[in-house]
Structure 1
Amino acid sequence: MATTIHPAAVVHPEAKLGQDVQVGPYCVIEAKVEIGDGCRLDAFSQVKNYTSMGPGNHVRSYACLGDEPQHLGFKGEETWVRIGEGNDFREFVTVHRGTPQGHMQTKIGSHCLFMAYAHVAHDCLIGDHVIVANAVSMAGHVEIGDHAIVSGMVAIQQFARVGEYAFLGGLSGYSNDVPPYMLAQGTRAKLYGPNLIGLKRKGFSTQTIGAIKKAYRTIFRSGLMREEALAKALAEFPGVPEVERLVEFVKTTTRGITSDAGRGASGGED
């Protein structure tokens, strides 16, 4: 199908639109924009300068992609928002460009869902198949791994990392890294063990989930020093990629790891 642009839309002649793109009324697309095949922009959405997106993205009404970062050091430099394919940006979602102090880009993978009023700040790196629920606020430089779920009204502090397949409970604040495969929640968030329901839904085997559970207990609840606990977890489960990834993530933290809620806490581990 041919690209269709509503007469009430404002599309800069230098913008690059692929095939079968649908642009609704009162959309604004600025000059330095690249939009892939099959994308759909609903009424009143905006795609601003230095934004590129792959095929099949859906930008809903009043969403705004590619605005300048909310950073006092930003002086109008050319920085980008780069978006993969098949993402859904719901109403009033905002995604801001990177900064020279960061990655020079904000990057979003493919097949993600950003629910209404979610905000992706400058220099964030979002993986594939990520779900970001309503009114989530990410500060700059946040990283979220593949298949993670971020529940509604979550706040994530700058430079924090969220590992793949993690589940972040809603109405919670996250200032430290949340390891992959884990469940975390709380006003000052704490870990509650592996994200068991999520891992089962994603097809992880019983053996793999069992290894993640035992490695979690070794790392966070054995009473060993952190380096000793990490070495023990690797020794107990040699060749298990998920355990190796968990250990690597903990080793490479710079902000620190979200603390464990304690042995008596209820949550995803039991």
Structure 2
Amino acid sequence: MNSQLWKSISDFVELSKYPKLPCPFCHEVELTIDENSVQSRALSKNYEKSAPSRHFQSVKNKLSQEISEQKNTIKEMYDENKLLGVLLGAGLVFTRLNQPNYEFHKFIAFMSCQSCGDNVAVNGLAQIHNKTRQDQVQLVPIYKIEHFSTPIPLFKIDSSVPTKIQLELLGAFSYFHIDTNSSANKLRRAIEHFCRELNGGNAKLAHQIQKLKKTYPLEADLLDTLRLVGNEGTHSDGVDEDDLLTAFRIFEEVLTIFKKQEILNEMKLNQKVLTDKFDKKMLTDENVVSTQ
């Protein structure tokens, strides 16, 4: 899994700098933004009152925190030296007035695969620079894709992986771009299906993993840590993109169990062919010796 690729689009990005992504259809890393398809509209005030995305909240909270810290700095300086406090306050106000002013937009667009020609619809948030003075330079908009109409696999899921695990993983990949805690919850569900495939039954996940340690001790130990990530996403809100990327990388390796099982089952068939051939020959040789 290319963790750096996914980190590079975890925040707002200029479209010209948006990297190629893996195509969900042909799996080639040739999915690119069709800039001509981009359409956007300014967010209404109602958006803030509903359920704004965490990216929107994050930008707003960061700005609010910066203003609060500046006010505290000015107050502390003013308490020590009124003149310096006034000068610092004036300087910070001037700086803030000259900072780029961005307006949030909702956008929709298409991504096209340069290999197979198929398309994926996307939507998310854009920050459009709002010039407040004529002498300001118009800055390039920045975008955050929050939803892909066909989920983009963060790593290629082998066909040997059972369907229920695949579906939960695709859900985890989809939520990664907009809600990391829901993504962690989906990862936990994928682990539950993983354990059921190998253990059977519907025991609690911790018990399932404990049972798995008898046959797959290393994998079970890794899954126990991923269970904690899933629990955090389910019951709290402390999971971020870096946590998920690490967890996905671990789970990607654990999932190779199914490919190994597939290969071993194939080898069992080959083994039977060899056994039948040479065991019969051995029996024939023994019969010849016994008759002499």
TM-score (normalised: structure 2): 0.28
TM-score (normalised: structure 1): 0.29
- Structure richer in helix, relative to its length: 2
Q: Which one has the largest radius of gyration?
A: 2
